[in-house]
Chains A and B, each alone.
Chain A
Amino acid sequence: MKKVFGRPESLTDVPFTYCPGCHHGTAHRLVAEVLDEFGIREKTIGICPVGCSVFAYLFFNCDVICAAHGRAPAIATGIKRSKPDSIVFTYQGDGDLASIGTAEIVHAANRGENITVIFINNAIYGMTGGQMAPTTLVGQVTQTSPYGRDPKTMGYPIKMSEMLSTIKGATYISRVALTKPAYIVKAKKAIKKAFQVQLDGKGFSMVEILSTCPTNWGLSPVEASKWLEENMIPYYPLGEFRTPEEVA
């Protein structure tokens, strides 16, 4: 009998520890499927961040190193430069990539580091219990924006894909969502394209994945998906911001 569905080899047998309705699980799986399909699991080195996905090392069945908060692109640089035949990806949240690690991500992109970045944007700090992220929407209530994010004193939510796509060294930048099957199919295509860019030695690639955080948003999984579609997608439009064709 032909096997049509199974657990990707690039995931371990360890069950995910993420909250119900959180998109980390789907995002992990898509990355793992892509590693499987390219047959690159055994030469891949992942860098997990500080945040909920600090435990990604337990789930990805490839070599993994855990970075200090925000520093994953610098570590990825050190790995890729010292082992250019490896496939290197970072997996970072919005606090990690868009706040404490802005210098690292901007300059890894600017140097055109031949790495792939998976950026999970759920508009909140998950692991520390729901504080404001740089990507938190205007008016969104969090532990540290208890009266809603006020752009007068807290700034506007930062659009990392748009910002990084102005950088010449960035080869592929795309934003995707995971709230419905059609989005998931597109998300996987984007992740595949990002790794293809790296396999071709074409430079920096990033896929921003809009994700839910039902626990810290205070919503049910279904409500969270709806909230993401109604509030995040209008502000963070999906699509490709920079593609290899454009660069070439």
Chain B
Amino acid sequence: MGEKILMKGNEAIGEAAIRAGCRFYFGYPITPQSEITAYMAKRLLKMKDAAFVQAESEIAAINMVYGAIATGVRAMTSSSGPGISLKQEGISYIACSELPCVIVNIQRGGPGLGSIQPAQGDYFQATKGGGHGDYHLIVFAPSSVQELVDLTMDAFDLADKYRNPAMILGDGLLGQMMEAVEFKERPKVNLPDKSGWTLTGCKGRKHRYIVPFDLDPRVLEKLNKVLDEKYKRIKEKEVRYEAVNIENADLVIVAYGTVARIVKTVINNAKKEGINIGLIRPITLFPFPEKIIAETASKINKFLVVEMSLGQMIEDVKLAVSGKAEVNFYGRTGGVIPSPVEILEEVKKYL
């Protein structure tokens, strides 16, 4: 513990999951996340009371997760855009059944088969539910390999705490890059006991079932309201963000993940030219850090949202700003990563 090691992002996610107690992984190869699947195979196939299954499809993989987590274990699946689309059916069932698991999306360019280069086009899918029905995932947006590690571990904890699927929304750059990481000693967290709902065989108790439907609309509405109450609690308690240089900034950029890293370079470059840029970096995308954005909007009148998409998170930023400031947008997509130079040029347009 405490030692820094050089690791590729995707492998770091796998190691973090194992250290978080995940012994069950079900996946399917897809670029640029395949190293997670390979890493889990290498580790879990050698472990006791563990399983790695290369599923026949992404659909099967998420349903294997569904089965495993119903017995109370920690389980994970990972993929990239096209595969995450296939998993949506299962994710919706898991959310409805209120079961905890972690899903990793190492985003690539879309739509369709798209490209295998980094992108952020799956923001809507990740934060607005993704599959059918009213539900949300807890969505983390790491910005470094260290955060891939820390947030993967946190994702397992929060998934258990709220009995809700959690997603790590990375991208091909984070998954493929190597950085020094530390697997820190983590304080013990008190998590709810699972024995009240897991399917383990009904020895010594009444038989129990996990059923993601109810044909009585009033009962189903009630279930939806229970979920909604949970999302409200999550919004109240689990918002995470990083704010850099937002006091007295000429303009505040809102960006997450890979783009936020680039923006930090932009901030330093801009300083040399006497331009004062701030950054709000959401670390959780759901719940979205709307409060800090709203507060900032009452002090700073210019925002620029930068994404590797043609504008998805900007909708949440605009809702938070609520007309109190100007919200501009700059995006590259299809797997193109914006450069610090072009972002600074964009900033200058609004000053």
Could you tell me which A residues sit within 8 Å of B by CB distance?
Answer: 12, 41-45, 47, 54, 57, 60-68, 71, 74-83, 86-87, 103-104, 106-107, 111
Contacts and interface: CB of A to CB of B under 8 A. Distances in A.
16 contacts: A45-B70, A45-B201, A47-B67, A54-B213, A64-B199, A64-B209, A64-B211, A66-B212, A71-B60, A74-B55, A77-B26, A78-B24, A87-B201, A103-B56, A104-B56, A107-B60
A83 B71 contact: yes
Contacts of B151: none
Contacts of B59: 71, 74, 103-104
B75 A62 contact: no
A43 B203 CA distance: 7
Nearest to A78: B67
B210 A66 contact: yes
B71 A82 contact: yes
B209 A104 contact: no
A60 B66 contact: no
Given A71-B60, A82-B51, A107-B56, A57 B24 contact: no
B93 to A, nearest CB: 5
B63 A75 contact: yes
Q: Chain B CB within 10 Å — which of A41, A45, A80, A86 has the most?
A: A45
Q: Chain B CB within 10 Å — which of A42, A44, A67, A81 has the most?
A: A81
Given A42-B203, A64-B209, A79 B60 contact: no
B53 A77 contact: yes
A154 B73 CA distance: 43
Interface string B51-87: 1010111011101111111110101000000000000
Given A54-B213, A60-B207, A77-B53, A65 B199 contact: yes
A71 B61 CA distance: 10
A97 B57 CA distance: 16
B208 interface: yes
Contacts of B51: 81-82
Contacts of B213: 54, 66
B65 to A, nearest CB: 6
Q: Chain A CB within 10 Å — which of B26, B57, B200, B213 has the most?
A: B200
Nearest to A42: B203
